[in-house]
């Protein structure tokens, strides 16, 4: 992916407490502690410097404690240490012995003698203080006390400190490296200090002998006292979003090769960074976000869905983001995009929360487009509270309303007979149980709707009554935009860069789509837009109507998964009894479209809520495994706020719960 994974010089172990593993020619390095297997990364750029004589040249860990207290005692230090340990997976007290400690406290604070004993007992070798602190009680200890810049304002947490030949002490941030064993990421990223964290750099380092990407996560402690609402939230970013200083590949080696590092972060991502979130790496996507099965990923190896036997599909295109959120406790949310299901389907297949917001709710500049008329920015989360919080913050100030007022929840649960019951009765029981809960807890009522019959009775346009024809027209929306905005410019740039090599190599789906698109005209495209809008108008007039009092006159319930049957990443397994292809055919084969098209075509918001799991006997492990079940809820455009309020309500009554990482969501 255009990434230079530098193979680095393994250097000899340094003096305790840290062992240097590798360092780049530029000076970034990784290290471990003798007492743990964790690996840490200290990027090149320093965040703070000061001059000080007599400091060791080799890097040492620096712990920063922060307290408003004016009296520093052993018990205060112990409780800070315990509280930091419980909040963070990066810092722990084993960084203290032989290392440096800085205490950020009021300038007139004093240490008592118990504090001096605590420093000695915990093995701290260097104490940094900012001039105002009375250090007289430390005079008898063996601790090297360094005076440094009183203007410093380091966040609490873990750093490295080293002394340059020029007599300057440099302090750099430390990230813990987690191994991406599910191959969900393309590369890890760290913010470049001093760029308001809008510029990032790829982590071009790995431990010799391994293939997996290393993902750097910042200390949770860096966010302490940071007032920004998403301070320290760790985010995986789909590889169609631009992140200044890194490559956007769109899942394509050719695209990454010719465009290289991008110069500006996408507006939608800037918004998250301004709120305090930290991008920890780029996640895999199907090429240019086109639909693709796992075996159709050619340039990029398809990520591993951790659920069940670990051999199930996670759909596309946001499969890297979905796999990552279901796999890694150390990751908070992952960004995807949803054109015709690319957040909702992967969310259902990995059992995570997922949202497709009202169409138009995000400025998507700096994001590789697919079908402008249907593209949305969405994300995945394991925790319902965080899911609601981020949805509110990210889509706030949207160009279109996403939080229309409502006085009460709708009472109608729209249950489309076209898609229910799902194939696995155990999964259907989960849907029925969820609906029963909405009925008993919130006074809602299940209303049966036959969408095909409603279409047949209401619309006159024959293409809207013919799901094959409608799908072809819907595909045109994506193919025209993708070909004109991605395919043609890529070909031109590629040919200029590599004359005589013909067309850039592409994965089968975009390649075929681009070939089909050569004769598409602007008129063909407008015809497809008109048809899409005709369906939208039908849907919002006859099925899911906007409502003054409840925002949406009903909430439609849908399955975005596979009806509770396993769908494997290996194609041949999906025709075996008990398994299924990813695209479940519509029961009855009526004049209806795949259920994931509804919200996309009508511009509706949709949320996926993990509510349960069903068992299957795996063709891979030969034993019983569990696969997750999401209930998806759709409302009229602008009712995102109402759906999120419903998720909050469901969390309150224990129906929407957090999901676990790994083989089982629950
Ligand atoms: C390090 O890894 C080994 C082998 O996986 C394990 O036995 C050991 O407990 C680990 N040590 C720590 C401190 O986590
Ligand atoms: C829905 O309507 C279609 C066409 O009008 C009909 O063929 C189908 O049987 C109906 N489905 C159900 C479950 O009633
Ligand atoms: C539905 O559309 C497809 C594709 O355009 C076409 O081949 C088929 O004949 C149509 N079916 C009907 C019943 O009109
Ligand atoms: C595009 O138009 C040309 C000229 O009419 C024709 O030869 C070619 O087959 C068409 N290609 C596609 C993919 O429709
Ligand atoms: C919608 O607005 C209400 C009232 O201002 C607020 O409480 C709620 O958090 C908002 N929801 C979203 C999704 O922004």
Retrieve residue 255's tokens: 């695209």
Q: What DSSP state is assigned to residue 230?
A: T
Find the 466 Cα to ligand 2 centroid distance in Å: 15
**pLDDT surpassing 90 at residue 201:** yes
Q: Please write the tens of the pLDDT for every residue from 422-431.
A: 999 999 999 9
Distance between CA atoms of 354 and 335, rounded to whole angstroms? 10
Q: What DSSP state is assigned to residue 487?
A: I
List of residues 6+ apart from 54 with CB closer than 8 A: 144
- pLDDT (average), residues 84-109: 91
Nearest listed ligand to the Cα of residue 452: 2
Instruction: Enumerate the β-bridge partners of residue 128.
Output: 102, 146
**pLDDT surpassing 50 at residue 5:** no
Query: Given this model, what pLDDT does residue 603 score?
Result: 98
Q: Is 589 in the pocket of ligand 3 (CB under 6 A)?
A: no
CA distances from 166 to 52, 61, 62, 194 (A): 10, 20, 20, 22
Distance between CA atoms of 325 and 351, rounded to whole angstroms? 10
Q: What angle do CA 377, 378, 379 make, to 5 degrees?
A: 140
List of residues 6+ apart from 51 with CB closer than 8 A: 167, 168, 169
List of residues 6+ apart from 592 with CB closer than 8 A: 418, 451, 452, 455, 467, 586
Q: Of 54-68, 181-195, 289-303, 498-512, where does mean pLDDT reach its minimum? A: 54-68
List of residues 6+ apart from 7 with CB closer than 8 A: 208
Q: Please write the tens of the pLDDT for every residue from 21-34.
A: 666 656 788 888 87
In a 10 Å sphere around its CB, with 0-12 CB exposed, 13-18 middle and 19+ buried, how is residue 540 labelled? middle
DSSP for 23-92, written as a single string: E-TTS-EEEE-TT-S-EEEE-S--SEEEE-SS--SS-EEEEEEE---SEE-HHHHHHHHHHHHHH-SS--
Distance between CA atoms of 226 and 533, rounded to whole angstroms? 45
**pLDDT surpassing 90 at residue 134:** no
Distance in angstroms between the alpha carbons of the first and the last residue of the chain? 35
Instruction: Classify strands 278-283 and 185-191 as parallel, antiparallel or unpaired.
Output: antiparallel
Closest Cα to atom 8, ligand 4: which residue?
A: 519
* Contact criterion met (CB below 8 Å) for 464 and 474: no
Nearest listed ligand to the Cα of residue 455: 2
- pLDDT (average), residues 623-640: 98
Nearest listed ligand to the Cα of residue 92: 1
- Helix (H) / strand (E) element for 624: namely strand 624-634
Find the 535 Cα to ligand 4 centroid distance in Å: 29
Q: What DSSP state is assigned to residue 241?
A: B
- What proportion of the chain, given as a percentage, has pLDDT over 70? 91
Query: Given this model, what pLDDT does residue 51 score?
Result: 78
Strands annotated E in 428-563: 445-449, 546-547, 551-552, 554-558
Q: Is 70 in the pocket of ligand 4 (CB under 6 A)?
A: no
Q: Is 140 in the pocket of ligand 4 (CB under 6 A)?
A: no
Picking from 60, 107, 102, 99, the residue whose alpha carbon sits closest to that of residue 77 is 102
Q: Please write the tens of the pLDDT for every residue from 519-545.
A: 999 999 999 999 999 999 999 999 999
Find the 592 Cα to ligand 3 centroid distance in Å: 13
Closest Cα to atom 4, ligand 4: which residue?
A: 519
Closest Cα to atom 13, ligand 3: which residue?
A: 466
Q: Please write the tens of the pLDDT for every residue from 586-600.
A: 544 455 788 999 999
Find the 454 Cα to ligand 2 centroid distance in Å: 9
User: For ligand 5, which residues put their CB under 6 angstroms from it?
Assistant: 391-392, 396, 403, 640-641, 644
* Contact criterion met (CB below 8 Å) for 340 and 595: no
* Contact criterion met (CB below 8 Å) for 175 and 216: yes
**pLDDT surpassing 90 at residue 4:** no
CA distances from 8 to 31, 220, 528, 567 (A): 13, 28, 53, 41
* Contact criterion met (CB below 8 Å) for 31 and 42: yes
Closest Cα to atom 8, ligand 1: which residue?
A: 37
Q: Is 469 in the pocket of ligand 3 (CB under 6 A)?
A: yes
Q: Of 189-193, 366-370, 646-650, where does mean pLDDT reach its minimum? A: 189-193
Q: Is 421 in the pocket of ligand 2 (CB under 6 A)?
A: no
Distance between CA atoms of 311 and 421, rounded to whole angstroms? 26
**pLDDT surpassing 80 at residue 86:** yes
Nearest listed ligand to the Cα of residue 398: 5
Ligand 1 mutation pick, 37, 176, 178, max ligand atoms within 8 A of CB: 37
- R_g (Cα) of the chain, nearest Å: 27
Categorize the per-residue pLDDT at 3 as very low, low, confident or very high, splitting at 50, 70 and 90.
very low
Distance between CA atoms of 119 and 385, rounded to whole angstroms? 39
Closest Cα to atom 6, ligand 4: which residue?
A: 519
Distance between CA atoms of 469 and 489, rounded to whole angstroms? 29
Find the 595 Cα to ligand 4 centroid distance in Å: 32
Judge if the upstream peptide bond of residue 141 is cis by omega within 30 degrees of 0.
Answer: no
Query: Given this model, what pLDDT does residue 185 score?
Result: 96
In a 10 Å sphere around its CB, with 0-12 CB exposed, 13-18 middle and 19+ buried, how is residue 145 labelled? middle
Query: Given this model, what pLDDT does residue 307 score?
Result: 98
Q: Which atom of ligand 2 is nearest to the CA of 453?
A: 5
Categorize the per-residue pLDDT at 554 as very low, low, confident or very high, splitting at 50, 70 and 90.
very high
Picking from 9, 41, 40, the residue whose alpha carbon sits closest to that of residue 25 is 9
Q: Is 512 in the pocket of ligand 4 (CB under 6 A)?
A: no
Categorize the per-residue pLDDT at 166 as very low, low, confident or very high, splitting at 50, 70 and 90.
confident
Distance between CA atoms of 1 and 428, rounded to whole angstroms? 42
Q: How many CB atoms lie under 10 A from the CB of residue 358?
A: 27
Nearest listed ligand to the Cα of residue 32: 1
Closest Cα to atom 4, ligand 5: which residue?
A: 405
Find the 521 Cα to ligand 4 centroid distance in Å: 12
Retrieve residue 523's tokens: 């008129």
Q: Is 516 in the pocket of ligand 4 (CB under 6 A)?
A: yes
Find the 37 Cα to ligand 1 centroid distance in Å: 6
Closest Cα to atom 12, ligand 3: which residue?
A: 466
- pLDDT (average), residues 343-362: 98
Query: Given this model, what pLDDT does residue 588 score?
Result: 43
Q: Please write the tens of the pLDDT for every residue from 365-414.
A: 999 999 999 999 999 999 999 999 999 999 988 889 999 999 999 999 99
Q: Which atom of ligand 1 is nearest to the CA of 35?
A: 13
Nearest listed ligand to the Cα of residue 391: 5
Secondary structure (3-state) at 512 = helix
Q: Is 518 in the pocket of ligand 4 (CB under 6 A)?
A: yes
Q: Is 519 in the pocket of ligand 4 (CB under 6 A)?
A: yes
Ligand 3 mutation pick, 452, 456, 461, 466, max ligand atoms within 8 A of CB: 466
Backbone angles phi, psi at 491, to 5 degrees: -60, -45
Q: What DSSP state is assigned to residue 485?
A: I
User: For ligand 1, which residues put their CB under 6 angstroms from it?
Assistant: 36-37
* Contact criterion met (CB below 8 Å) for 251 and 239: yes
Nearest listed ligand to the Cα of residue 394: 5
Distance between CA atoms of 146 and 50, rounded to whole angstroms? 10
- pLDDT (average), residues 533-561: 97
Categorize the per-residue pLDDT at 654 as very low, low, confident or very high, splitting at 50, 70 and 90.
very high
Query: Given this model, what pLDDT does residue 162 score?
Result: 85
Query: Given this model, what pLDDT does residue 13 score?
Result: 33
Q: Is 589 in the pocket of ligand 2 (CB under 6 A)?
A: no
Query: Given this model, what pLDDT does residue 197 score?
Result: 59
Retrieve residue 507's tokens: 């994965």
Find the 608 Cα to ligand 2 centroid distance in Å: 26
Q: Please write the tens of the pLDDT for every residue from 214-272.
A: 999 999 999 998 999 999 999 999 999 999 999 999 999 999 999 999 999 999 999 99
Q: How many CB atoms lie under 10 A from the CB of residue 56?
A: 16
Query: Given this model, what pLDDT does residue 15 score?
Result: 41
Find the 550 Cα to ligand 5 centroid distance in Å: 14
Find the 502 Cα to ligand 4 centroid distance in Å: 19
* Contact criterion met (CB below 8 Å) for 452 and 592: yes
* pTM of the shown model: 0.94
Strands annotated E in 151-238: 157-163, 168-173, 175-179, 185-191, 200-202, 214-218, 234-238
- pLDDT (average), residues 150-154: 72
Calculate the average pLDDT of the chain.
91
Categorize the per-residue pLDDT at 50 as very low, low, confident or very high, splitting at 50, 70 and 90.
confident
Secondary structure (3-state) at 178 = strand
Ligand 4 mutation pick, 512, 519, 520, 524, max ligand atoms within 8 A of CB: 519
Categorize the per-residue pLDDT at 583 as very low, low, confident or very high, splitting at 50, 70 and 90.
confident
Query: Given this model, what pLDDT does residue 110 score?
Result: 86
Closest Cα to atom 6, ligand 3: which residue?
A: 469
Distance between CA atoms of 208 and 203, rounded to whole angstroms? 14
Distance between CA atoms of 572 and 575, rounded to whole angstroms? 6
Backbone angles phi, psi at 547, to 5 degrees: -140, 135
Choose from 131-140, 168-177, 339-348 the range with maximum mean pLDDT.
339-348
* Contact criterion met (CB below 8 Å) for 567 and 312: yes
Instruction: Classify strands 144-147 and 126-129 as parallel, antiparallel or unpaired.
Output: parallel
Distance between CA atoms of 223 and 197, rounded to whole angstroms? 14
Nearest listed ligand to the Cα of residue 640: 5
**pLDDT surpassing 90 at residue 608:** yes
In a 10 Å sphere around its CB, with 0-12 CB exposed, 13-18 middle and 19+ buried, how is residue 484 labelled? middle
């Amino acid at each position: 992916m255009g990434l230079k994974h530098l193979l680095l010089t393994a250097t000899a172990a340094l003096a305790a407490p840290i062992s240097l593993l590798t360092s780049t020619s530029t000076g970034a390095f990784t290290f471990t502690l003798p007492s743990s297997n964790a690996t840490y990364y200290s990027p090149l750029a320093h965040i703070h410097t000061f001059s000080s004589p007599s400091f060791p040249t080799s890097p040492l860990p620096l712990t920063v404690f922060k307290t408003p207290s004016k009296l520093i005692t052993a018990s205060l230090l112990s409780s800070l240490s315990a509280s930091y340990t419980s909040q963070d997976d990066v810092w722990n007290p084993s960084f203290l012995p032989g290392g440096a400690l800085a205490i950020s406290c009021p300038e007139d604070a004093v240490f008592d003698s118990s504090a001096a004993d605590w420093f000695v007992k915990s093995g701290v070798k260097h104490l940094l203080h900012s001039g105002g602190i009375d250090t007289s009680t430390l005079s008898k200890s063996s601790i090297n006390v360094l005076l440094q810049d009183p203007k410093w304002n380091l966040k609490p947490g873990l750093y490295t400190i080293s002394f340059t030949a020029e007599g300057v002490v440099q302090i750099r941030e430390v990230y813990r490296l987690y191994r991406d064993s599910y191959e969900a990421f393309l590369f890890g990223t760290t913010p470049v200090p001093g760029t308001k964290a809008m510029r990032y750099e790829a982590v071009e380092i790995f431990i010799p002998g391994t293939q997996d990407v290393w993902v750097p996560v910042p200390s949770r402690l860096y966010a302490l006292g940071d007032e920004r609402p998403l301070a320290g939230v760790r985010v995986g970013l789909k590889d169609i979003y631009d992140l200044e200083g890194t490559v956007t590949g769109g899942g394509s080696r050719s695209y990454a090769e010719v465009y290289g590092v991008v110069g500006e972060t996408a507006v939608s991502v800037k918004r998250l960074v301004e709120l305090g979130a930290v991008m920890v790496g780029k996640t895999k996507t199907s090429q240019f976000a086109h639909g693709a099965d796992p075996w159709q990923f050619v340039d990029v190896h398809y990520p591993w869905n951790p659920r069940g036997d670990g051999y199930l599909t996670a759909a596309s295109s946001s499969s890297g983001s979905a796999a990552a959120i279901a796999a890694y406790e150390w990751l908070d949310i992952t960004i995807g995009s949803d054109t015709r299901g690319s957040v909702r389907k992967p969310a259902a297949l990995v059992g995570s929360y997922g949202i497709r917001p009202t169409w138009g709710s995000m400025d998507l500049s700096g994001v590789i487009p697919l079908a402008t008329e249907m593209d949305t920015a969405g994300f995945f989360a394991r925790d319902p509270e965080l899911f609601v919080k981020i949805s509110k913050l990210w889509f706030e100030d949207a160009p279109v309303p996403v939080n229309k007022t409502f006085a009460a929840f709708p009472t109608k649960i729209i249950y489309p007979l076209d898609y229910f019951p799902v194939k696995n009765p155990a999964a259907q029981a989960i849907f029925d149980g969820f609906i029963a809960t909405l009925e008993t807890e919130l006074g809602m009522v299940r209303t049966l709707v036959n969408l095909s019959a409603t279409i047949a009775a209401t619309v006159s346009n024959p293409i809207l009554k013919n799901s094959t024809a409608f799908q072809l027209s819907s595909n045109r929306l994506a193919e025209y935009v993708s070909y004109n905005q991605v395919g043609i410019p890529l070909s031109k740039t590629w040919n200029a860069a590599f004359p005589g090599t013909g067309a850039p190599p592409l994965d089968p789906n975009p390649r075929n789509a681009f070939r089909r698109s050569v004769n598409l005209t602007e008129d063909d495209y407008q015809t497809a837009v008109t048809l899409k809008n005709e369906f939208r108008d039908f849907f919002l007039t006859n099925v899911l109507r906007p409502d003054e009092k409840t925002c949406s006159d009903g909430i439609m319930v849908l399955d975005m998964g596979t009806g509770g049957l396993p769908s494997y990443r290996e194609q041949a397994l999906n025709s075996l009894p008990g398994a299924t292809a990813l695209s479940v055919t519509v029961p009855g084969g009526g004049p209806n479209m795949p259920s994931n098209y509804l919200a996309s075509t009508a511009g509706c918001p949709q949320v996926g809520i993990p509510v349960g799991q069903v068992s299957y006997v795996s063709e891979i492990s030969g034993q019983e495994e569990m696969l997750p079940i999401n209930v998806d809820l759709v409302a009229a455009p602008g009712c995102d706020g109402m759906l999120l309020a419903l998720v909050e309500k469901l969390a309150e009554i224990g129906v929407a719960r957090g999901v676990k990482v790994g083989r089982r969501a629950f």
